[in-house]
Structure 1
Amino acid sequence: MLKEIKKQQYDRAIAYLESQYDPVTLLYSQHKNHLMQEIKSVAPDVNILESWLDYMLDCFIHRSPHLNKKERTVEGWQKIFPRYPVDREGFAVSFAIEDSDTYCRMLDDYGVVVVRVFDKQECERSIAAMFEEINNTPAPYRKMNVSPDNPISWEKCNWPSRSKFLLSRPAFHFQAFKNRTSETVYRVFCHIWKEERLRVTIDNWGIMRGTKDLLMKNGVEDRPQWRKNVKPHWDYNPWLFHSEMQKGRQPGYQAIIAFSDQTSQTGCHLTLPGCTQFLELWCRENEIPKDLLTKRRSHRPVANDPVRDYMQEIPIRQGDMIIWSWGQLHGNTMNFASQMRLLQYIRMFPASEVDTSYEEYDRYACRRILRQYQSEYAFDFSRFSLQEKRLLGVEDY
């Protein structure tokens, strides 16, 4: 009941602020002070801060019909969005874990970076674990177990979920937890965050089926209906991302680990190199949707946004981890090969002992997922070290 009352008051606060919005009078601090007093009177049960008012006013500016949108040439856009370097074989340049200064600098410059974290054996164990878990998960219409080497088994009826992602829950296999708590992965995120007290998400396996030249029951066939991709988007409200960065707070990062080579043919990561560097200007030149404002959620650019033309495919090798800032516009490309694209989603962020907000708002935060599924699974972490338990939120720092 109280939650609903607070929501109603919050909506009234936004409506009142919008009705009083005037970019000229708001230049005067006394008018802002008056606004704060009035807002608190219409939302007495909501903790309204001055920083919230500043952000909301900034949002209203971005919703103005008189945005200062600059026209740019192709050459101008190309300078803003430099290409992430690739090697002679067409794969994104990757870095050893020891080369932290370089990959942290690359992440700052490009908004994305690739680091080598797993060897072939670790990837093969992960693939075996992935399909063991898939086949042990109930699927009401399953006719056979799914195998990465048998396209006949890839039909929709054999998967736990009929969604385009094929899976219905986070990865709970022992190997998935070992991957999340890998010392190598942990060290990379320690360097990026400049913090050792971290938590890891309990996120999903990732699978894209092969779609071309598949050996099926009636011979070689294509499955174009299996070609799925994630459209360009930001993981995090870009206006909120920019606002938090201005205040010195890093909203976060996302990462995937490739268990098989990911090429233009199998489908791969798609990104806008340098997006985080350009985001402040982009936010000033684009109108924030009225239903977004302070919400921590993903956002897609409009179809005719010119920045979409400068996105770059990022092919990576087996065992590579690609990390990108939540300020990066990104997506992925479709699979036009006969092989699967296989991966695991992983990210780390400062533990609640450092900053409570990361765990509070992340939907895949370890403690949240463990609570959510505790009635279905008997999680046993007896074989995990103290540091691994801390990463998973089972032990405190």
Structure 2
Amino acid sequence: MTTRTPPPTAAAPSSVRKPGQGLRLPDAGGRLRTYQPRPEPAAFTTKGADPAPLVSRTVFSAAHVVADPYADSSPGAPVVVDWDTTLAFRRHLWSHGLGVAEAMDTAQRGMGLDWAGAAELIRRSAAEARSTGGRIACGVGTDQLASGAHSLQEVRAAYEEQLALVEETGSQAILMASRALAAAAGGPEDYLAVYAHLLRQADEPVVLHWLGPMFDPALEGYWGSSDLDAATETFLQVISEHPDKVDGIKVSLLDARREVELRRRLPQGVRCYTGDDFNYPELIAGDERGFSHALLGIFDPLGPVAAEAVRVLDTGDAKGFRELLDPTVELSRHLFQAPTRFYKTGVVFLAWLAGHQDHFAMVGGLQSARSLPHLARAYELADGLGLFPDPTVAEARMKSLLGVYGVDQ
């Protein structure tokens, strides 16, 4: 067991830290170190938003939800969302030309946000997208089903209910991986049958989502096998049998090599949207045989720099694109470190520091899912990148959190 070294007690006024002396941040070993915040944000943060669509790549940011801080947000409590602030964050993403991937795992689907909350989120966000001209795609799953065993017919009906709602709002559908299907399917043939039925039902081409078990352990063995090579063949069969109904695939396996091999085998016109929060710059930049578009949770906190980088890529400047986006990978890998599914805590934490919301509370009480040293490192990395529009506000909020944990400054 690691014992945290307590900070020295401030015994006299001379020991009180003064402005400009930096913050004392705890590291993973429980030791305190001094970090000097940057005085100004990065240029991409201050240059102003540009809502014009990105050209060379289609880019979605999966967006988080903002909890009502005065509601009971303990695990199992009814979901209460701060709708005004949640929708304001979507307008922030659209203002930079990004699309919004709504009601995905970044929005705590299956980790605090139930289907009733997700359905309301989809309706409200879709209406906001129509009024602002923003691009939106929404997650379709089976999370209205109670825990326990379900038949394939029940799984299919649950998918159909959610698909109908998403299409009624005028949004593009993202067929999410289903815990219920993973539990009910006896083999690849069941996945082929369920997805074939859903694709025939879809009015417009959809995005298929392959979410790896690092994001949700209940999805182990998806597509009928824990052997990823075998699972890939089933996945590709679904697409090849219905290419006119598949706009693209979203791959979240954190394996760049596998994603490149997979996208090279896609039928003509079917896009690959990277969901790899470890290797996104190289996958989006691509190679001589193609590239990935993007649908990423990390583009929630990285919205302005991600949009700026793709606009540089739009000019053909791949080197400039990498120079902007490569430095963000360390932060992304930190937020998405194992247990990866708790990356949402870091995403919401950074939104609070950046001033997009005035509290650090989450649906289901998930703000407690990461340690103080983890959050402190996230602050340091994000501040170093210049992500905070007002570094002074971010520093003050970080200082307030440190105080709650007993770290005197």
TM-score by length of 2: 0.23
- Which structure features the higher share of helix residues? 2
TM-score by length of 1: 0.23
